[in-house]
Structure 1
């Protein structure tokens, strides 16, 4: 993509983010550039008038210079205020564009693709970098000098028109070549993160994060990790450094041409002075103008910052286009989905098959499952049978390769109302660094106190309130003042409360996808029994490896690689003597008392 198109894309984003402030900033930039040009001319005329005795003209040019020296900083102050406002709007706008890449489309397949996920992480990190932030302000720091350069070009044109054009062209060429060189490096960083860079970032994280700090010190891994990180980082950066070296030649050549052009221009001015062709006032003005033409060239850190900014925006645009999103315009919000009055929902999967990207074998194959509204169903099976995949398909997080998924006769992959009818607590549920109130309220989208208290009580977590210094307002993370960490079991009760609050908010299907793995057998069984009691009348789906915990469900479905192999109540499946009965008996033996009586009956 050409630099001009990148700049136009950047300008469009700036305009869409803050049209009013951007217009004001542009107007102030034009006025400031005009003031710079006027000051340059006034200085030349003032110096020229000094060759004579002090006259009215001398004082006139002196006062004009004084006025311009006052007006310039005032315009700069106003411009700084306008650019600050436009920059804030721009950064907020781009943050929304980045966030949309993560949440649109609704599914999560793109977030589990290594290439897309790696590029997204790189773009997110780039938008937080200081160079991206300063790159927004750099827009105006570049436009102003460029416009002043146009003024200098106009001043020099009556002298020898081709000289200023050549000088300006040499500066412009150097700027273009250097910016292209810098952009190439940024593009490689943003669009091709590579496995080596990702691994290097991971290793660096191990050395600096608290999660791994104990084991690194315990096993003396610091030196080894440092050596591996260094070698991995060098391997990741070698290609980039090689590309930078290859692109350095044109930059050096452009510097040489620019030096020759500027030197030649000054030589011509000196020649005209010695021949008496130009006056002292013209000489002073022209020298200033030649120096001002460097505004068409490199402008230091602001040029680099703007290059980084436009590269980041281009990488973001590329991601959005791959995902079918508008390039630099947020997705228009659709009509607000009305809150469902509640009640149990019906679930249906018909001949559903799904294969993960990069996998040769389907995770789910020809699964047909119908769950009437209000029924409690347990899904059991060996690891890899596809239990969690079915739940993700039910949530609309994946789109089946074959078959249909329905919640209340609607497809959750495309229907927001159908998605909101499903509440799930996954095994790896999120632990939000928010207050207890917000952690529970996220499920219902409501902070109604009685609703939250009932949800926490039903989840068996009411005792938490007696242990938290700030009650509902306690932040559930020790990383914040007044915050606290919870145990695994406590977090699971908070997550369950969130799901129960979602039911109160209109969800009609409640799924527990092995969220109680941190609990012992007795605690899990008690929790499931309590769960089935408080969710009576709601369609519930329980996923667990512990068969004794789900035996009270209305119906138990046994899932295997080939699909559903058994379907019935606990008693029916035991009487059948098939796979469920075999697995249940094996697990029961593990908890049998010495007398031979099992704790799981």
Structure 2
């Protein structure tokens, strides 16, 4: 029990540290207002008791008597406190809003940093870590998280009001308030421990199942699945799967919650005995004549105020949920080597920039994905001199995309070394900034065209010349002319004034983003199937244009259409399990008559047949 109490106090200390990190000034102001609010409440219970006690004498003495004057003074104080209370409550709402805004901004920054640190994505590929992170993200987005933050000061104010009630009751029997308050504290801490354990288990043990349940629920309401759900009449099936998945996730929690309630029931019984005994003692003193009317009114209010040390209902529930999310967030941050309550210090290297093509080296690299037994690449050796254009080709599963991820620093090799400009991209932010890449599954941001292209050169996104040149080199000038608001058009039909693009148009925007990165200093440009939505001729023309505009950049092209990459300085052929099996120019590889020549001939024959069919 003591260990659980210590854990509860520990999470409140963590909550206080986060508040102080986020907005120290507003935190102090909110604490002072909470103290003022509790002081007003304590004075009010004293003044109402004294006013009630003075009334009988005032009535007997009549108007103008000293007793009446005495009663009027207590009435005036009570009225003033009744007016002051709502004013202080309004002030608390304002201060609370400012404090919560700062706290939310701080927590969201910590969550975002946790998701992108470290540079690699191994942890995000882990269902355990990614599930827990997603659970924290969902928890911080939920309205109850903000509700819990706002009620931090409500809970504090009510606890402080309880301290005032203890002081009042000590004037009667000094030991009694500690006995009553202790029973409420035990009940509150027992309940808080049960709440915290419930929320912790919810975030830790059922994160994966709950995430799957949320996904299934989303299929019923998200537009991307609407067509197939209706076409295949999937509603009942999805609802049944959602129900069973959610019940499976919660089934492990319900027994734990039931067992954890037993100490809560016992603590409630102890509290009832303590309050009942105090009321019996007060009745005895009233009968004995040692406590008058003023004392009865004041002491009963003070006893009721001690309830603030007990269970506070929704405010305490929401605060427990908020602190549970904060605790899990700090655990995740510590697991990835980040400070638990503050953003990591920026490395001086993060601010360095350089320009020009760089050399790319993979030295005896072996790498296997965590969920697979066979390596995606094994003992791979590849050196690309600065400024050279290289095409990587091969069948599916040969490791082309894996090589790209290694060059971007998204994974660390199990064996060997990866170097971009002499530095490891998995360790060096400067090395990662030298790489611009467009993945086959690039992101379609629901932002303006300006932002979609400018993200490739964030530090220089305000330079229109860079954006214009990048979009032009990507063949997107025609796209720009068709957009109603030009560069400021939002590329999503979900927003008023926005528009969606075709697959080919989106690929040109993504390519422009990579070229903007080159203008900002990237020395390596990687294109991973960037033109799959274009026809053969458009792709070939675009690749030829790329090779022309990126002569001062090290370029790596990946495409299944061999006719599109034949003008690259060099072509390497990858084979599953064997690594690089051929390396040379297009002409050299055709003359060698090996794997590349066979694949190129087969593709050329297929395209020739298509041309003949369309021409006939």
TM-score tier after normalising by the smaller chain length: over 0.9
1:137 aligns with 2:142: no
1:551 to 556, 559, 566: 566
Deviation at 1:341? 5.1
Range 43-52 or range 334-343, more displaced: 334-343
1:31-85 residue CA offsets vs partner (Å, 9 max, x unmatched): 2212211111111111111121343221221111122222222222222222211
1:70 to 66, 72, 83: 83
Q: In 2, are the aligned partners of 1:340 and 1:507 still within 8 Å (CA)? A: no
Aligned to 1:10: 15
Aligned to 2:545: 530
2:472 to 453, 457, 465: 457
**SS class of match (1:593):** helix
C-alpha distance in structure 1 between counterparts of 2:84 and 2:100, whole Å: 24
Q: In 2, are the aligned partners of 1:339 and 1:506 still within 8 Å (CA)? A: no
Range 574-583 or range 310-319, more displaced: 574-583
Aligned to 1:287: 300
Deviation at 1:195? 3.9
Deviation at 1:597? 12
C-alpha distance in structure 1 between counterparts of 2:366 and 2:39, whole Å: 68
Deviation at 1:490? 0.3
CA RMSD of aligned residues (A): 1.8
Deviation at 1:506? 0.9
Aligned to 1:168: 181
1:448-487 residue CA offsets vs partner (Å, 9 max, x unmatched): 1122111111111110112111111100000111000000
Q: When the two structures are superposed, what TM-score results if normalisation uses the length of structure 1? A: 0.96
C-alpha distance in structure 1 between counterparts of 2:354 and 2:340, whole Å: 37
Aligned to 2:136: 123
Range 503-512 or range 63-72, more displaced: 63-72
Aligned to 1:563: 579
Aligned to 2:314: 301
2:227 to 214, 219, 236: 214
Aligned to 2:499: 484
C-alpha distance in structure 1 between counterparts of 2:542 and 2:486, whole Å: 23
Aligned to 1:584: 600
1:390-415 residue CA offsets vs partner (Å, 9 max, x unmatched): 11111111111221111111221121
1:376 aligns with 2:381: no
Aligned to 1:514: 529
1:314 to 327, 339, 343: 327
1:244 to 228, 238, 257: 257
1:49 aligns with 2:65: no
1:102 aligns with 2:115: yes
Could you tell me which runs of 5 or more consecutive residues in structure 1 were left unpaired when the two chains were aligned.
none
C-alpha distance in structure 1 between counterparts of 2:415 and 2:579, whole Å: 14
C-alpha distance in structure 2 between counterparts of 1:143 and 1:208, whole Å: 40
Could you tell me which runs of 5 or more consecutive residues in structure 2 were left unpaired when the two chains were aligned.
62-66
**SS class of match (1:489):** helix
1:329-385 residue CA offsets vs partner (Å, 9 max, x unmatched): 111123374564532111111111112113211111111111111110001112111
C-alpha distance in structure 1 between counterparts of 2:208 and 2:516, whole Å: 41
Range 303-312 or range 227-236, more displaced: 227-236
Classify 1:598/1:56 alpha carbon distance in 2 versus 1 (closer, same or farther; 3 Å): closer
Deviation at 1:194? 4.5
**SS class of match (1:592):** helix
Q: In 1, are the aligned partners of 2:132 and 2:207 still within 8 Å (CA)? A: no
Q: When the two structures are superposed, what TM-score results if normalisation uses the length of structure 2? A: 0.94
1:323 aligns with 2:328: no
C-alpha distance in structure 1 between counterparts of 2:311 and 2:15, whole Å: 19
**SS class of match (2:21):** helix
1:483-542 residue CA offsets vs partner (Å, 9 max, x unmatched): 000000000000011111111111111010112222222222222122212212321000
1:22 aligns with 2:35: no
Q: In 1, are the aligned partners of 2:135 and 2:207 still within 8 Å (CA)? A: no
Classify 1:596/1:34 alpha carbon distance in 2 versus 1 (closer, same or farther; 3 Å): closer
Aligned to 2:64: none
Q: In 2, are the aligned partners of 1:345 and 1:538 still within 8 Å (CA)? A: yes
Q: In 1, are the aligned partners of 2:364 and 2:417 still within 8 Å (CA)? A: yes
**SS class of match (1:211):** helix
Q: In 1, are the aligned partners of 2:349 and 2:430 still within 8 Å (CA)? A: no
Classify 1:216/1:577 alpha carbon distance in 2 versus 1 (closer, same or farther; 3 Å): same
1:352 to 356, 365, 379: 365
Q: In 2, are the aligned partners of 1:503 and 1:510 still within 8 Å (CA)? A: yes
Classify 1:205/1:289 alpha carbon distance in 2 versus 1 (closer, same or farther; 3 Å): same
Instruction: Name the structure with the higher helix share.
Output: 2
Classify 1:519/1:89 alpha carbon distance in 2 versus 1 (closer, same or farther; 3 Å): same
